[in-house]
Amino acid sequence: MNLLQPTKRGVFAPIHPLPAPPETGKMMELVPGVHWLRMGLPIALDHINLWALADGHGWTIVDTGIDHPGSTETWERLLREDLGNVPVTRVIVTHMHADHAGLAGWLVEKFGCKLWMTRTEYLSAQAIAGSSGEEPAFRALHSKAGWTAAEIAELGARKRTIAGFYAPLPGSIRRMRDNDTLEIGGKLWRVIAGGGHSPEHACLHCPELGLFISGDMVLPGISSNISVDPVEPDGDPLAEWFTTLSRIREKVPNDVLVLPSHGRCFTGLHERIDVLVGEQRGVLKQLLPALVQPKRADELFGVLFKRPISRSDIPLMGLATGETLALLNHLVTRGSVHRRTGADGVTVYQLTNGATL
């Protein structure tokens, strides 16, 4: 099914409203040569969108789903029935997370093609896929955030489960860099790489088709996870995310159809970016009055999150901790907040003298 019609300017305008997404394990044609695939995920976020782009005598696949029971069978069926038994000639992965990179190694091995990724995302994916869940930096970050040894061990076990979502990655990549242009099926796609959600996430923009593959950088309905990584405990991923979104807004016109990794395709890229940035700035403002007195990261969950964060829900605690630290690190980098680690080994944060609320 072709959902979009070309306008006079060669940009594809959606027929409103855009129909429902393909069912899990199915695909639909968005514009000639661009197909939208959906794969299931065994986590709270229950699906990922993948893209198959006609590329001469083969397919370029963008993102891959995770390696879990049934997923390679779904791929086999899609390749055979929906993608016409035509070989995959290139696999592009937007970023390191398992839902995106999990089956990259399997596809690359099966078709003897190359994996295209930015270098930092590839190396980071290798690190997650090889994680023991017991790395000292991982333990240190959570212990300073007030986690008990038992809680850290449980999150470590969860990390090992996630490591199992990756088929072995290939030993080499074709490196993508910010501002590269890829020719796919006779169309030019520009790479826009930037940090925030992950260190060097690649989005792809095709001006001729009016399409923007946003990965996890710009999502409809939910905001991207911005978390501090134990590899860089003092990092400021929120600043990187603001910068990347502002670059995307500058380089990609508002009238593209956005192809996100989760949720439905949408239009209104600039408005969506403005809302996302506005929300994060609002949260930062909201955090400041809570820091008049020194607070641990976990004492701020009530201020930051609408739903209660139960200490027994370890994966949720992990997300909440990573995101809270990202907000706090941003305030520390800006000089609005200072941090110190007490005798109990837990870090507390407090408004700097003279910082404005």
**Which residues of the shown chain bind Zn ion in the complex (CB under 5 A)?**
97, 99, 216, 261
Nearer to Zn ion, 15 or 45 (CB): 45
Q: How far apart (Å, rounded) are the C-alpha atoms in residues 294 and 299?
A: 10
Q: How far is the CB of 195 from Zn ion (least distance, A)?
A: 12
Between residues 97 and 205, which has the closer beta carbon with respect to Zn ion?
97
Smallest separation, CB 94 to Zn ion (Å): 8
Strand partners, 340: 348
Query: Smallest gap, in angstroms, from Cβ of residue 183 to Zn ion?
Result: 26
CA dihedral 213, 217, 223, 228 (to 10 degrees): 160
Report whether 175 contacts 123 (CB < 8 A).
no
**CB-wise, 18 or 319, nearer to Zn ion?**
319
Work out how close the CB of 198 gets to Zn ion at its nearest, in angstroms, rounded to a whole number: 6
Q: Which of 258, 292, 298, 12 is nearest to 146 (CA)?
A: 298
CB closer to Zn ion, 218 vs 348: 218
- Give dist(CA 162, CA 133) in Å, integer: 10
Min dist. Cβ of residue 46 to Zn ion (A): 12
Taking the complex as a whole, the smallest distance from the CB of residue 41 to Zn ion amounts, in Å, to: 9
Q: Please report the sign of the dihedral spanned by the C-alpha atoms of residue 323, residue 328, residue 329, residue 330.
A: positive
